[in-house]
Amino acid sequence: MTFDYDLFVIGAGPGGLAAAKKAASYGVRVAIAEKEAIGGTCVNRGCIPKKLIVYAADFAKDNQMAHYYGWSECKRYFDWTLFMKSVHQHLEQIHYSHFEELQKAGVELVREQATFIDAHTLDLGGRKVTADKILIAVGGRPNKPKIPGIEYGITSREMFHLPYLPKRLAIIGGGYIGTEFSSVMHAFGCQVTVIESNEMILSGFDDDIRSSVQQGLSKRGIRFFTNSTAQTIKLSEDALLLKTSGNRPQTIVADTILVAIGYTPNTQNLGLEKAGVELVEQGAIKVDEHNRTSQENIFALGDCINRVQLTPVAKAEGIAFANTVFGNKPQKLDYDYIPSAVFSRPEAASIGMTEAKAREKFGESVECYRTEFQPLLYSLTEQDEPITIKLVVDGNSQRILGAHMVGEHASDIIQSLGVAIRKGITKQDLNETIGIHPTVGEEFLSLN
């Protein structure tokens, strides 16, 4: 049978774009469908605009410290509208850059919703096309709890389109999205309250890291209600009233309520049942080690499968898929040592096993090295901004199983340790490495 395309990709997010361009480099006919802006969640309502907001918030922090370093005090005003205009202009540049890259690679971009007719046929706004291989890379959508009044809450998607800064912001969920927005919005002058169902924020991170970040944010004035769950949202004359249950039931008054309790695979309305694609829990697409679904010619990756919801992972999965299917270079990803970061202030980053996970696997042989210290940057100030660093080590082999950090440059430092830890570096290797002084990173070389 002759097909219109060798590969058709549904979704032009990081994973889909990477797969399409890599597959095209092998000389196959590729098209990609995207009903919204190119770049997916990361570019349009995730990593990129979020990091730009973090940078904007950092000026407030730097301004607070400037007079300790000899700079005269001056009053500055933050213009949210002007800033967001600049952010969206930058995103438009990224959209155009992605479009140019697709054109250069010879990938056809289709601005339509793609739905399955059968395993090899797609409906693109009324036009039928066929493809030998189909890749699903549709990402995820924000979850919302089914509580009365939830329609008054917004998600991270709408946060980047707020017409003005709220004076009072309540955040349901203390994951990395809720934590990051709590940090930046507080820096902009908002009164922030976070409601978290667990005992501490940032579930999945090492407990020492979770505790350090929460303490750091609390010292800045952010309120946390942990072991608490949102129950109802009501609209009053001039505010939203969020009622919680738990250890300390509260009624929180807010102008804006951000719902940040994670993402669900965006697999609805694709017609997957017509293609024989099997789903697992929460609507995630079931795939094997090479990202093949229950239908032999259909593959899936990124946030719509049940693995790791991170942009670099989706990109890596896309490249591995193309290498395996079209490049005759079978490739499987190693998910054991994936670095991750939380761009709050204080910043947090981790790679490898938490202490709890390591003890589950290695038991009493696990050794942990942890220290907390005040960085040089704050030595002239009155601010208490301790840095926490931690290594999790297999006591038998001395291999480093995990590295965790809270504080200045955490993400860059953990990223730099990533290759070494994946390659099996030992605690002794770190001890024998000469550091750069004075830096924060050198502290990892002298933990004892």
CATH number at residue 163: 3.50.50.60
Catalytic residue among 67, 88, 409, 437: 437
Residues 277 and 128 in one domain: yes
| Cβ–Cβ < 8 Å for 177, 156 | yes
Instruction: Please give the full DSSP string across 150-166, using - where no structure is assigned.
Output: GGG-B-HHHHTT-SS--
- State which of 294, 325, 356 marks the end of a domain: 325
- State which of 261, 289, 316 marks the end of a domain: 261
pLDDT at site 75: 84
| Cβ–Cβ < 8 Å for 351, 414 | yes
| Cβ–Cβ < 8 Å for 355, 208 | yes
Strands 400-406 and 387-394: antiparallel
Residues 416-422: contacts with CB under 8 Å, at least 24 apart: 416/441, 417/351, 417/444, 418/337, 418/339, 418/351, 421/337, 421/351, 421/352, 422/334, 422/336, 422/337
Active site residue 437: yes
What is the number of other CB atoms lying within 10 angstroms of the CB of residue 63?
A: 14
Does 91 map to a domain? Answer: yes
Distance between CA atoms of residues 445 and 448, nearest Å: 9
pLDDT at site 1: 74
Q: Which two tokens stand for residue 148?
A: 């009365």
Q: Which amino acid is at 124?
A: L
Distance between CA atoms of residues 189 and 310, nearest Å: 29
Distance between CA atoms of residues 444 and 261, nearest Å: 33
Does 337 map to a domain? Answer: no
Residues 268 and 138 in one domain: yes
Distance between CA atoms of residues 432 and 422, nearest Å: 18
| Cβ–Cβ < 8 Å for 392, 404 | yes
Low-confidence ranges of the chain (pLDDT < 70): none
Residues 363 and 405 in one domain: yes
Does 341 map to a domain? Answer: no
Residues 79 and 201 in one domain: no
Residues 314 and 377 in one domain: no
Does 183 map to a domain? Answer: yes
Distance between CA atoms of residues 60 and 216, nearest Å: 16
pLDDT at site 73: 84
Residue ranges making up the domain that contains 396 = 347-445
Residues 249 and 214 in one domain: yes
Q: What is the pTM of this model?
A: 0.96
DSSP 296: T
Does 336 map to a domain? Answer: no
Beta-ladder partners of 244: 230
| Cβ–Cβ < 8 Å for 186, 192 | yes
Does 24 map to a domain? Answer: yes
Does 236 map to a domain? Answer: yes
Does 137 map to a domain? Answer: yes
Residues 94 and 171 in one domain: no
**Residue 407 belongs to domain with CATH number:** 3.30.390.30
- State which of 212, 232, 261 marks the end of a domain: 261
Instruction: Please give the full DSSP string across 82-146, using - where no structure is assigned.
Output: HHHHHHHHHHHHHHHHHHHHHHHHTPEEE-S-EEEEETTEEEETTEEEEEEEEEE---EEE----
Residues 378 and 431 in one domain: yes
Residues 204 and 275 in one domain: no
Residues 167 and 253 in one domain: yes
pLDDT at site 310: 96
Residues 257 and 291 in one domain: no
Residues 249 and 269 in one domain: no
Q: Does residue 265 have a cis peptide bond before it, meaning omega lies within 30 degrees of 0? A: no
Distance between CA atoms of residues 183 and 165, nearest Å: 14
Strands 240-246 and 251-254: antiparallel
Provide φ and ψ at 195, rounded to 5°: -110, 120
Q: How buried is 271 (Cβ within 10 angstroms: 0-12 exposed, 13-18 middle, 19+ buried)?
A: middle
pLDDT in tens, 241-286: 999 999 889 999 999 999 999 999 999 999 999 999 999 999 999 9
Distance between CA atoms of residues 41 and 43, nearest Å: 6
Distance between CA atoms of residues 262 and 156, nearest Å: 10
pLDDT at site 241: 98
Query: Number of structural domains, the chain?
Result: 3
